[in-house]
Amino acid sequence: MTNREKYKQAFSAMHFPCGMTLEVEKMAILSKKAKIRTTAAAIITICLLITGGSGVAYAADVGGIQRTIQLWIEGDRTDVTFEYDESGTYDMSYETKDGETEKLHGGGVAIEEDGTERPLTEEELLEELSRPDVIYEEDGTVWVYYYDQKIEITDQFKDGVCYVKVSNKEETLYMTILYQDGWCTSPHKYEPAESLR
C-alpha cells in the first residue's frame, strides 16, 4: 500500500459536518475569492471611468481652470470669467455697462534674481489686474480708476504730467502720469517725470 492510499483510508473514516467534503470546501473558498476579485475589478473600472471622464472634461477646457471672480473694472465691481494657463497667460471676459461682452487676453513673465524667466503665477496676474488704470475717453477726458475710485484728472496735467494719490484702505499708491505716454505707481512718493521718459 502506498502513502497516498494510506492517507485516503485514514481520512475516509472522518466525517465532515453537514456532509461537506474537503474538495467542496476548497471550491467554496475559491469561488468567494473569485467573486471578491470580480467585484474589486468592477469597482476599479468604475473609478477609472469616472476619473478618466473628468480628465477629458478638464482637457477640453484648453488646459486652464476657468472660474468666475470679481474684479474692479472702471470703478465698478464686476463678475469676470477668468481662465489662467500655467504658461503665465490669462483670458477673461465680462459684460460691459452697455451689455456687450468684453474679452481680454494677457500674461507675462517675471525675471528672477539669477536672470532666468518664469511665467507669472495666477496670483501675480490678478494683483496686476488690480493695479490703478488710466483711461483716455473719446470725449477728451482722462480718468484714473482704482478699486471703487473714479477720478477725473483731465485738468490736473501741468506740462504733460499729473500726480495722483490713490488708496484702497490697505495700500496707498502715488501715481505719476505722463499725458498719453504711460504711468507708474510707487508706495513711497511720486516719481520724477524725467525718470519715466
Q: Which pLDDT band holds residue 56 (cuts at 50, 70, 90)?
A: very low
Reduced to 3 states (helix: H, G, I; strand: E, B; else coil), residue 60 is coil
Q: Which three cell numbers mark 134?
A: 488710466
| CB neighbour list of residue 76: distance below 8 Å, 6 or more residues apart | 97, 148
Question: How much is the pLDDT for 86?
Answer: 82
**Concatenated DSSP letters of 130-165:** TS-EEEE-TTS-EEEEETTEEEE-GGG-BTTEEEEE
> CA dist 23 to 2, 17, 20, 30, 140, Å?
21, 14, 8, 11, 97
Burial class, 50, CB count within 10 angstroms (exposed 0-12 / middle 13-18 / buried 19+):
exposed
> Is the pLDDT reported for residue 1 higher than 70?
no
What ranges do the domains of the chain cover?
Answer: 3-59, 63-130, 132-197
- Nearest Cα to 108, choosing from 127, 92, 121? 121
> Is the pLDDT reported for residue 142 higher than 90?
yes
CB-CB contact of 157 with 173 (8 Å): no
What are the pLDDT digits (tens) for 10-42?
Answer: 555 554 455 444 555 555 555 555 555 555 444
CA atoms 146, 149, 153, 154: torsion sign: positive
Average pLDDT over residues 113-121: 88
Reduced to 3 states (helix: H, G, I; strand: E, B; else coil), residue 82 is strand
What are the pLDDT digits (tens) for 120-135?
Answer: 888 888 888 888 889 8
Instruction: Supply the pTM of this predicted model.
Output: 0.55
> Is the pLDDT reported for residue 89 higher than 80?
yes
CA atoms 127, 128, 133, 135: torsion sign: negative
